[in-house]
């Protein structure tokens, strides 16, 4: 047995020597960094945008509640060489930036509504796609009021834009391409969409994007979006309660990406907050329960619409993925319905030629 101990001892000495080399010798550190840089630059995921599929990558699966593992609402939708962004919650774009997507292909952001957890990174999406040589101004779709949001972000980033143009040159960063353009989604009279209304906001290269109303009362406007591409489809609920209009616009969809709140857990949080004298937080925990949807109700809507896969995102409250996957799917068994708990980095692929949806992890 002695040789076993000798071997173990040798392994420990070698590991310690290696660690010491990394810790003390600058050339070793430089070589490690150089190889990491090379590995990072080799990765370029143009294939996710150019190959014939409808894809969704979740860049934010969280909510306004702080969570080290989930950024607030953000989704990247890719098909036929186009990239669309559905919501841009604060901090979420750093997730998408790490995936090495061709960011010059980002052509529009679709906002479900104007709560901060859905719009905070709008300036980042614009700035980073501008730097990546997006060939046209970024369009930002949303209900009436989107002009205010977009103009405000443009104004807030105006100094930043002028600094970058001064530094890198107007040939490199064309000034007119750095200013977002709002696109209002409204009914014929210019009002907020109501149940049954639909507006096709994009219809090109086989991609059709339809906006419809959801119920996030008293928040108006609040919209969902349906993407159709070559017979495949994905629907986003945005923030909502249980609303038949979602089932109506999700008919036969491959994937429904729904917000979800564990009502009983948030109720418990409210009770504990009250117990500890956190009355202001307790009020928020009380109020938010009347404008979100329980996982079971989302499953009912999905089953009613004949949806194949239900994915929870914008999950409240934050939970570790393994525990959340158990708790959010507890009451969601419905015939023919496959249910997933979304996470930052989840990649959903629907091949244009049919076949089962695949679920992967884009995280580095
Ligand atoms: Zn939200
Ligand atoms: Zn909201």
pLDDT in tens, 190-208: 999 999 999 999 999 999 9
Which band of pLDDT confidence, cut at 50, 70 and 90, is reported for residue 341?
very high
Domain extent at residue 12: 2-39
| pLDDT for 353 | 85
Res. 63 pLDDT band, cuts 50 70 90: very high
β-pairing, 207-213 vs 338-341, is: unpaired
Together in a domain, 29 and 111: no
Ligand index nearest the alpha carbon of residue 291? 2
Same domain, 298 and 174: yes
Counting ligands in written order, the one closest to the CA of 259 is: 1
Give distance in angstroms: CA of 224 to centre of ligand 2.
12
Q: How confident is the model at residue 1 (pLDDT cuts 50, 70, 90)?
A: low
Most distant CA atoms of the chain, gap in Å: 87
Residues 318, 237 share a domain: yes
The pLDDT tens digits of the residues spanning 226-266 come to 999 999 999 999 999 999 999 999 999 999 999 999 999 99
The catalytic site residues sit at: 117
Same domain for 150 and 74:
yes
Q: Ligand 2 center to residue 216 CA distance, Å?
A: 7
Interval between CA 73 and ligand 1 midpoint (Å): 7
- Statement to judge: residues 77 and 222 lie in one domain: yes
Do both 48 and 127 map to the same domain?
Answer: yes
Angle at 193 between CA 189 and CA 197, to 5 degrees: 100
Q: Name the closest ligand to CA 73.
A: 1
Ligand 1 midpoint to CA 242 (Å): 15
CA 267 to chain centroid, in Å, comes to: 26
pLDDT, tens digit, 9 for 90 and up, residues 131-178? 999 999 999 999 999 999 999 999 999 999 999 999 999 999 999 999
> Same structural domain for residues 142 and 179?
yes
Q: How far is the CA of 238 from the centre of ligand 2 (A)?
A: 8
Whether residue 221 has a cis bond before it, omega within 30° of 0 = yes
d(CA 259, CA 277): 29
> Same structural domain for residues 203 and 301?
yes
User: In this structure, which ligand is nearest to the CA of 63?
Assistant: 1
CB atoms within 10 A of CB 337: 18
Residue pLDDT, tens place only, 88-117: 999 999 999 999 999 999 999 999 999 999
Check whether 126 has a pLDDT greater than 80: yes
Tell me the C-alpha distance between 84 and 40, whole Å.
24
pTM summary value: 0.94
Q: Are residues 196 and 252 in the same domain?
A: yes
Query: Are the CB atoms for 196 and 214 separated by under 8 Å?
Result: no
Nearest to 125 by CA among 101, 145, 148: 101
- Both 25 and 132 in one domain: the answer is no
Looking at the fold, whether 129 and 194 belong to one and the same domain comes out as: yes
Q: What is the pLDDT of residue 40?
A: 86
- The mean pLDDT value for 304-310 works out to 98
CATH of the domain at 273: 3.60.15.10
pLDDT grade for 4, boundaries at 50, 70 and 90:
confident
Dist CA 289 CA 287 (whole Å): 6
Q: Helix (H, G, I), strand (E, B), or coil: what is residue 23?
A: helix
Could you tell me the distance, in angstroms and rounded to a whole number, from the CA of residue 208 to the centre of ligand 1?
A: 25
- Specify the pLDDT at position 79: 98
- Give percent of the chain above pLDDT 90: 95
Q: From the CA of 250, how far away is ligand 1's center (Å)? A: 20
* pLDDT-derived band at 181, boundaries 50, 70, 90: very high
Strand-pair partners of 312:
258, 341
pLDDT of residue 2: 83
224/120 same-domain check:
yes
Q: Which pLDDT does position 43 carry in this prediction?
A: 86
Average pLDDT, the chain: 96
- Which contiguous run of DSSP H or E holds residue 316? strand 309-316
Number of domains comprising the chain: 2
């Amino acid at each position: 047995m002695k040789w076993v101990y000798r071997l173990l001892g040798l392994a420990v000495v070698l590991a310690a020597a290696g660690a010491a080399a990394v810790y003390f010798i600058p050339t070793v550190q430089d070589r490690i960094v150089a190889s990491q840089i090379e590995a990072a630059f080799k990765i370029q995921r143009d294939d996710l945008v150019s190959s014939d599929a409808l894809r969704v990558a979740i860049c934010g699966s969280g909510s306004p509640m702080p969570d080290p593992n989930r950024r607030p609402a953000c989704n990247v939708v890719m098909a036929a060489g186009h990239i669309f962004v559905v919501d841009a919650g604060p901090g979420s774009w750093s997730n998408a930036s790490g995936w090495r997507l061709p960011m010059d292909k980002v052509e529009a952001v679709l906002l479900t509504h104007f709560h901060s957890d859905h719009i905070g990174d709008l300036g980042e999406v614009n700035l980073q796609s501008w730097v990546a040589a997006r060939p046209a101004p970024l369009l930002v779709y949303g209900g009436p009021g989107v002009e205010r949001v977009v103009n405000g972000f443009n104004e807030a980033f105006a100094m930043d834009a002028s600094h970058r143009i001064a530094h890198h040159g107007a040939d490199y960063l064309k000034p007119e391409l750095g200013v977002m353009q709002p696109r209002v989604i409204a009914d014929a009279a210019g009002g907020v969409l109501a149940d049954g209304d639909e507006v096709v906001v994009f219809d090109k290269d086989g991609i059709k994007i339809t906006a419809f109303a959801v119920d996030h009362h008293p928040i108006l406007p609040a919209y969902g979006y349906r993407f159709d591409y070559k017979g495949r489809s994905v629907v986003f609920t945005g923030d909502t309660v249980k609303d038949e209009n979602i089932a109506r616009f999700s008919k036969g969809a491959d994937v429904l990406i729904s917000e979800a709140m564990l009502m009983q857990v948030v109720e418990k949080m409210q009770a504990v907050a009250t117990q500890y004298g956190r009355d202001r937080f307790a009020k928020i925990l009380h109020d938010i329960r009347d404008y979100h949807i329980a996982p079971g109700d989302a499953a009912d809507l999905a089953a009613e619409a004949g949806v194949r896969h239900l994915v929870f995102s914008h999950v409240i409250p934050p939970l570790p993925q393994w525990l959340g996957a158990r708790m959010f799917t507890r009451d969601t068994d419905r015939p023919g319905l496959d249910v997933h708990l979304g996470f930052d980095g989840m990649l959903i692929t629907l091949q244009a030629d049919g076949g089962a949806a695949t679920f992967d992890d884009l995280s580095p």
